């Protein structure tokens, strides 16, 4: 299976140095695409330097910070235009998504179109995260599930494998969320295509380096996004 692992970055200079080699160990034949939003710490310069020694590493440098959703959508379009990938994997640069789970995501994709690294099924969980962040995450998932009613448990999970055949069917221009609500919106549109979903239990850890990108604007977007999604003609 031809896979591209997509890593969006903004001020992840220290983490990117470690996460790329860790991904290569677990998936040595995968391509790695770093999508950097012109980081002030010049994360993109570190990536360019790494490319000299890591031929399967690519960089998509965007001009400004526009949010998680916009970064991923640009990466999706780039990969779909290329046409050689069977699947993409979305993951964070900060080691909250442990690379050890990558082979398991690929294995589970033999029976599913979308594989979600889930904190909220048996065997999954969260470690070393502030109490308010744990509460926010759990509440956001319960809130989204109550409104959208897709039969999954981790709506805000960002560690996801998606087969490109299904991604091609998603109308990316319909995705309006820029922050973490993008992850909810993407799952709802994939579900509408008829994608087969599967959740893989993972333990999510607090970021290794740097600061969280969470802010009040992202939280507010997450409050309204499920209601906007519900208005769409979702699969019954």
Consecutive 10-residue averages of pLDDT for the chain (236 residues): 96 96 97 97 97 96 90 96 95 95 97 96 87 74 79 92 96 79 90 94 75 53 56 49
pLDDT tens digits along 89-142: 999 999 999 999 999 999 999 999 999 999 999 999 998 777 767 777 777 787
Domains in the chain with CATH codes:
3-230 (3.90.550.10)
At residue 124, φ and ψ (nearest 5 deg) are -95, 170
Question: DSSP string covering 131-173, please?
Answer: HHHHHHHHHHHHHHHHHH--S-S-TT---EEEEHHHHTTS-GG
Spell out the residues 6+ positions from residue 99 whose beta carbon is closer than 8 angstroms to its own: 19, 22, 23, 25, 26, 91
For residue 197, what are the β-bridge partners? Answer: 114
């Amino acid at each position: 299976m031809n896979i591209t692992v997509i890593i969006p970055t903004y001020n992840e200079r220290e983490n990117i140095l470690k996460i790329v080699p860790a991904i290569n160990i677990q998936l040595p034949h995968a391509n790695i695409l770093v999508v950097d939003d012109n980081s002030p710490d010049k994360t993109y310069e570190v990536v360019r330097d790494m490319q000299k020694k890591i031929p399967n590493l690519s960089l998509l440098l965007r001009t400004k910070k526009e949010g998680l959703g916009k970064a991923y959508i640009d990466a999706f379009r780039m990969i779909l235009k290329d046409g050689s990938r069977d699947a993409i994997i979305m993951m964070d640069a900060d080691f909250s998504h442990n690379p050890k789970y990558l082979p398991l995501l690929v294995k589970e994709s033999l029976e599913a179109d979308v594989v979600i690294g889930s904190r909220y099924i048996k065997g999954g969980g969260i470690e070393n995260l502030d109490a308010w962040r744990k509460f926010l995450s759990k509440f956001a998932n319960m809130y989204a599930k109550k409104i959208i009613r897709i039969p999954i448990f981790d709506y805000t999970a960002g560690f996801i494998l998606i087969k490109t055949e299904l991604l091609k069917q998603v109308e990316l221009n319909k995705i309006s969320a820029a922050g973490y609500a993008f992850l909810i919106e993407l799952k709802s549109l994939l579900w509408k295509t008829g994608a087969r979903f599967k959740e893989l239990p993972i333990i999510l850890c607090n970021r290794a380096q740097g600061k969280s990108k969470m802010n009040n604007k992202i939280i507010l977007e997450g409050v309204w996004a499920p209601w906007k999604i519900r208005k769409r003609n979702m699969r019954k």
